[in-house]
Chains A and B, each alone.
Chain A
């Protein structure tokens, strides 16, 4: 962890109306590592990811991407987002475009890649994820797992510096979860830097280098996967994990 962090957050605060959703959140994500955000629904995991991608304005604190402060109002937010890939819980594929067009939209329109080159890369990625046959299909024709893999390809097509995954398996049938998580594991092996909010504790334990437990908008505890899952220090973390185990999810 000697490298300069890809993503760094310092004292981030975010409120919606009167409620504080994130409070004094600090986070460092080293290159080629996976950070898992765990915690109950409403604990602020998704908001944290949305803030990192500047989809939400933070109230206070600061966020750096590769050493550049992206929460400075002078930065070009579009330029920041170009370097970050996001995969959403509900896939958010564009239903009026084919899979191939979904994937090549940003490379062609934003990054100025030629059609042939963009499509070639898209097909390579689709092929790797076992979706080569679906390139010309429309998203509504695909299963949830396939759609989510297409969404991952769409995020990867622009070669992002950082990938944010927001509960990407939460909307999937159990038997489809595996195929998506395998993709994430492969990405980790290739060295992609990722931050993921997840309810898949087993997966978080396997894949994460760093685990953060959020509770009420605060990073209550953080550490390696062994530390958090094996020997949680905070009483609330223990209770949360106990409930997960009781539910048979770990």
Chain B
């Protein structure tokens, strides 16, 4: 038992070809065809089971809800088609405010959160006041209930009657949201920064990069990438909480629904507003899933498990 196999491909230059090309006249064996046939059948069976299971679950849920004793009344007050039609355009109109708030606050939160996180990870005694301030900020605003924060800012600031300070509930509400959420996001960023292995910083510093350059070019890119899912989580949460600016009187999607509910005592507009928010979130979640999956694929070393 000695020499076994002679490669059939072009043989001349031996050092060029680490990776042979795929066009090597390969013909799938019967074994492979059978295996793939079986795998396809198994995939079909799995899809069938999933569909059946979904159908049964949906049917059970439907029957439970529809047979509940209070269903006719609930249906009337929460799922009225008539009120839904009336509320939908108004809610959409209000939603535009939520979207604008989300965009502006989202950017502000990311920038402020990053600055605070970096401030907290600064080394050196000179930076102690900055570190302490950043720590105090996150401690305070993470603990303070958002609704109280909003009330203080939206109702309290105008009460001061300061010259030149806005009394616009949207601006003030946005400020309050930014204060609270940048504290959350700062912690997310900080966790990301600290999760990057110290050897990465060591490698960067030993290349002669300054602490700041190491942070900027090596640590932060890895930290941010890792923290994309929790960041998205906070952004989705922020998106919903933009609805809270309505306590100052700004007419957003929630407030628009509120007005109709107050007039009609039918709660359908709330349901409409709720569904509109959900519809807004889903594409964002899918987008991030796609982005993270693509990042993972680029870095993956292969493997099926």
Report how many residues on chain B are interfacial, defined by Cβ distance under 8 Å.
28
- A interface residues, how many (CB within 8 angstroms): 43
Q: Verify B3–A234 contact, CB threshold 8 A.
A: yes
Q: CB within 8 Å of A: which of B1-55?
A: 1-7, 14, 17-22, 24, 26, 28-29, 31-32, 35, 38-39, 42
Say yes or no: A23-B14 contact (C-beta < 8 A), given A59-B32, A221-B2. Answer: no
Among B24, B32, B38, B42, the residue within 8 A (CB) of A20 is B24
Please tell me if B129 contacts chain A, counting CB pairs below 8 Å.
no
- Given the known interface contacts A24-B5, A60-B28, A219-B5, the answer about A72 and B35 at a Cβ–Cβ threshold of 8 Å is yes
Bound complex: CA of A62 vs CA of B304, how far in Å?
Answer: 17
B20-A19 in contact (CB<8A):
yes
Shortest distance between the CB of B40 and any CB in chain A (Å): 10
Shortest distance in angstroms between A138's beta carbon and chain B's nearest beta carbon? 15
Q: Is the beta-carbon distance between A55 and B38 smaller than 8 angstroms?
A: no
* Interface assignment of B63: CB less than 8 Å from any CB of chain A: no
Contact of B39 among A11, A15, A16, A73 (CB under 8 A): A73
A223 close to chain B: CB less than 8 A: yes
Collect the chain A residues with CB atoms within 8 Å of residue B21's CB. Answer: 18-20
Chain A residues 11-43 with CB under 8 Å of chain B are 11, 13, 15-16, 18-21, 23-24, 26, 40, 42-43
Q: Is the CB of B22 within 8 A of A20?
A: yes
Complex interface: chain A residues within 8 A of B69 (CB): none
**Provided the pairs A61-B29, A239-B14 are in contact, do residues A222 and B4 lie with their beta carbons within 8 angstroms?**
yes
- Nearest A-chain residue to B23, judged by Cβ: A18
Query: Do A74 and B4 touch across chains, with their CB atoms under 8 A apart?
Result: no
Residue in B1, B19, B31, B305 whose beta carbon sits within 8 Å of that of A222 in the complex: B1
Expressed in whole angstroms, the minimum distance between the Cβ of B300 and any Cβ of chain A is 11
- Docked-complex contact A42 and B18, CB < 8 angstroms: yes
Known: A18-B21, A19-B20, A60-B29. A220 touches B7 (CB 8 A): yes
Question: Which A residues are CB-close (under 8 A) to B38?
Answer: 73-74
Contacts of B17 in A (CB 8 A): 216
Q: Would you call A218 an interface residue if the criterion is a C-beta within 8 Å of the partner chain's C-beta atoms? A: yes
B302 within 8 A of A: yes
Residues of B within 8 A of A26 (CB): 4-5
B231 to A: closest C-beta gap in Å: 24
- Kindly state the separation between the CA atoms of A196 and B188 in the bound complex, as whole angstroms: 43
Residues on B with C-beta less than 8 A from A74 are 38
Instruction: Give a binary string over A215-237; 1 marks a CB under 8 Å from any B CB, 0 the rest.
Output: 11111111100010000011110
CB closest chain-B residue, reference A236: B14
For residue B125, CB closer than 8 A to chain A, the reply is no
Instruction: Identify the closest chain A residue to B14 (Cβ).
Output: A236
Asked whether A73 and B35 contact (CB < 8 A) given A219-B4, A220-B5, the answer is yes
* Residues A23 and B2 in contact in the complex (CB < 8 Å), given A60-B29, A73-B35, A216-B19: no
Per-residue contact bits, chain B 158-194, to A (CB 8 Å; 1 contact, 0 not): 0000000000000000000000000000000000000
Instruction: Assess whether A68 is interfacial by the CB under 8 Å rule.
Output: no
Question: Is A82 close to B, CB under 8 A?
Answer: no
CA distance A238 to B29 in the complex (A): 33
Contacts of A24 in B (CB 8 A): 5
Contact, CB under 8 Å: A223 / B1: yes
In order of increasing CB-CB distance, the 10 nearest A-B pairs are A19-B19, A60-B32, A42-B18, A18-B22, A20-B20, A57-B304, A218-B7, A216-B20, A223-B2, A233-B3
Q: A20-B21, A71-B35 are in contact. List 12 more A-B contacts (CB 8 A).
A: A18-B21, A19-B19, A20-B26, A23-B20, A50-B303, A62-B31, A218-B5, A220-B4, A221-B3, A233-B3, A236-B14, A239-B14
Binding site for A on B (CB under 8 A): 1-7, 14, 17-22, 24, 26, 28-29, 31-32, 35, 38-39, 42, 302-305
Can you list 23 A-B contacts with CB-CB less than 8 angstroms, sorted by A residue number? A15-B22, A20-B21, A21-B19, A23-B20, A50-B303, A54-B304, A55-B303, A55-B304, A56-B303, A57-B304, A59-B32, A60-B26, A61-B29, A72-B35, A73-B38, A73-B42, A77-B305, A215-B7, A216-B7, A216-B20, A220-B5, A221-B2, A233-B2
